[in-house]
Structure 1
């Protein structure tokens, strides 16, 4: 999924395989759909598809259009896309059962536009710098 942070809307990318080649294909498709933008901060985790040499080479070859940033290890709570997955899943995947991968994909693709119409909104951060420092002080042992 791609999360458009300022609107909370999502774009679903379904690829046959989870590897750098397919991730790059999804990135290229996203860029084509949003070619009017001057650039995008691409915030992703340290998944091997995101950190692969081919992925890094593609991103570097795009100049400043893609501005990739990696979230720290074990910090998925920082990633607003994780919040999107939770919100979408709560509305459309909870208690679901699909006979096969194709049925699941069909369901997600059909549900995405409805999620964007009914529920999409920017995620509001409530974790302040002061709260973070208190948490770290308490758990640093």
Structure 2
């Protein structure tokens, strides 16, 4: 059973950071100073996901001049393929204000299919962030 909830406590936020550290910093070798930013302290809306009661995923969204940006979607390797990423995307999209502003993200190449299934389309050319290939993707309205 997958559950996703918005983070409101410091304890839950620490769980988010633990997931992100394991996936991005340890597994993908993203420098920690690129992984954590000022939005983590203020401005981001964070989520944590559990699979059968175990914390296995995290995500966040922020408001930018361009619209709403989904970020930091991470699922532990042992939980991948169980729908955790999809549940995170659905929950985040359900929570974002429906005020007509653009909803977008920078997807790692390996995750493009996930976002395509949720109505996003690729906009522009491949680029690198933290040494990993990405595509900008925008939600079709």
Q: What is the TM-score of this pair, normalised by structure 2?
A: 0.31
Higher relative contact order, structure no. (Cα contacts within 8 Å, ≥ 6 residues apart): 1
Higher strand share: 2
Higher helix share: 1
